[in-house]
């Protein structure tokens, strides 16, 4: 069995303006997403499913073809739109924001029947992260409610140019998730890593604290759990134009009520991404260094 990679890319059009102008951070103009697919292929993934929007479907399909990736992985597409809601619900007139990352995952229900990983389209997770999550997903084939995520050390996920938000994870002695709390305004200040809590007070996060960077692994039953709880979420938040149904929202519920376990996997990889435009030169330099070390060829697909 080969696991599938589900790539959350519905926001790419708004981020890049034009998909054909996706930021080339690799030495041959590769975007971060190219490195994700490359790592997934060599980690044994058999298919990539992109979650996109109809507004840029034609352009996206022209770029992300199986031929682009050397024919080494099958490519499929599903769509996330704000009016894709369960029967009995209709889109509020003032709703502009998408319904969140877990709503995006739900769009692949009926398309994915095997264990699958979820990633953000514009985050660089690293070769070892894909190898680690791929091994886990192959180990849970045919099982239910056995999930995972790749945890990154908080100090390896910060930006030098501003604060970030991260899902801070609690982990038990067996390596299973006990909690995931979204923390905002995380930054390094005077040698400490700090965040702002719900009361506005500044708190310290110890180095080594594990955080989620939205790299999860699920068995297909996750879709049914999500669809069921999404109705409850909508009932409680339909009139809140800013409410979003995030993956950690769903994961926390399933872990807390004992439905599922979620193993927190450790990785030697370091995450990086372009949170701020000033981060870009560092991303380019880090990819160049990985190429020079032999982790990646100078041209991924040639």
Which pair of tokens denotes residue 6?
A: 């589900």
Report helix, strand or coil for 275: coil
What is the Cα–Cα distance from 263 to 149, expressed in whole angstroms? 6
Q: Work out the pLDDT band at 24, boundaries 50, 70, 90.
A: confident
45 forms bridges with which residues in the sheet?
none
Please report, for residues 21, 61, 78, the alpha-carbon distance to residue 18 in angstroms, rounded to integers and kept in the order given: 5, 13, 19
Closest CA to 132 of 229, 39, 221: 39
Above 90 in pLDDT, residue 27?
yes
What is the Cα–Cα distance from 100 to 85, expressed in whole angstroms? 12
pLDDT of 199-245, one tens digit each?
A: 989 999 999 999 999 999 999 999 999 999 999 999 999 989 989 99
Predicted pLDDT of residue 13: 63
pLDDT of 140-165, one tens digit each?
A: 999 999 999 999 999 989 988 899 98
Task: Determine the length of the chain.
Answer: 302
**81 CB contacts (<8 Å, ≥6 apart)?**
53, 54
pLDDT of 59-116, one tens digit each?
A: 889 888 889 998 889 999 999 999 999 999 999 999 988 999 999 999 999 999 999 9
Q: Which residue has the higher pLDDT, 78 or 184?
A: 78
What is the Cα–Cα distance from 182 to 196, expressed in whole angstroms? 11
What is the CATH class of 4-292? alpha beta
- Whether this prediction's pTM lies above 0.85 is answered by yes
pLDDT of 118-132, one tens digit each?
A: 999 989 999 999 999
- Tell me which residue has tokens 């697919």: 37
Predicted pLDDT of residue 270: 84
DSSP letter string, 224-254: HHHHHHHHHHHHHHTT-TT----HHHHHHHH
Closest CA to 155 of 192, 190, 128: 192
Cβ–Cβ < 8 Å for 168, 181: yes
What is the Cα–Cα distance from 115 to 136, expressed in whole angstroms? 9
Angle in degrees, 0-180, between the axes of helices 247-256 and 222-237, rounded to the nearest 10: 110
Please classify residue 213 by burial: count the beta carbons closer than 10 Å to its beta carbon, then call 0-12 exposed, 13-18 middle and 19+ buried.
Answer: buried
Provide, rounded to the nearest whole percent, the portion of the chain with pLDDT above 90: 75
Q: Which residue has the higher pLDDT, 18 or 174?
A: 174
pLDDT of 256-294, one tens digit each?
A: 999 999 999 988 788 988 877 888 899 999 999 999 999
Predicted pLDDT of residue 19: 65
What is the Cα–Cα distance from 301 to 294, expressed in whole angstroms? 15
Predicted pLDDT of residue 20: 54
Phi, psi (5° rounding) for residue 177? -65, 135
């Amino acid at each position: 069995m080969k696991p599938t990679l589900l790539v959350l890319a519905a926001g790419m059009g708004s981020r890049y303006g034009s998909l054909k102008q996706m930021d080339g951070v690799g030495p041959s103009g590769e975007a971060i997403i190219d490195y994700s697919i490359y790592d997934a292929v060599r980690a044994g993934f058999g298919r990539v499913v992109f979650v996109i929007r109809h507004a840029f479907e034609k352009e996206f399909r022209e770029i992300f073809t199986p031929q682009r990736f050397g024919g080494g992985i099958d490519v499929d597409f599903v769509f996330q739109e704000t009016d894709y809601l369960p029967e009995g619900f209709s889109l509020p007139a003032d709703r502009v924001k998408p319904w969140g990352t877990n709503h995006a995952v739900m769009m692949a229900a009926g398309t994915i029947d095997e264990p699958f990983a979820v990633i953000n389209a514009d985050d660089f997770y690293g070769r070892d992260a894909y190898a680690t999550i791929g091994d886990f997903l192959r180990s849970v084939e045919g099982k239910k409610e056995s999930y995972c995520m790749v945890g990154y050390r908080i100090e390896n996920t910060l930006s030098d140019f501003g604060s970030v938000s991260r899902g801070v994870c609690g982990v038990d002695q067996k390596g299973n998730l006990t909690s995931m709390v979204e923390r905002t305004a995380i930054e390094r200040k005077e040698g400490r890593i700090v965040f702002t809590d719900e009361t506005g007070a500044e708190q310290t996060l110890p180095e080594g604290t594990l955080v989620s960077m939205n790299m999860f692994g699920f068995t297909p039953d996750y879709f049914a759990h999500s669809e069921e709880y999404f109705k409850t979420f909508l009932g409680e938040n339909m009139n809140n134009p800013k409410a979003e149904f995030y993956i950690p929202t769903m994961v926390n519920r399933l872990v807390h009520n004992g439905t599922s376990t979620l193993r927190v996997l450790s990785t030697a990889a370091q995450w990086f991404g372009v949170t701020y435009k000033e981060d870009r030169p560092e991303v380019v330099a880090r990819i160049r260094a990985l190429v020079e070390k032999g982790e990646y060829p100078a041209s991924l697909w040639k």
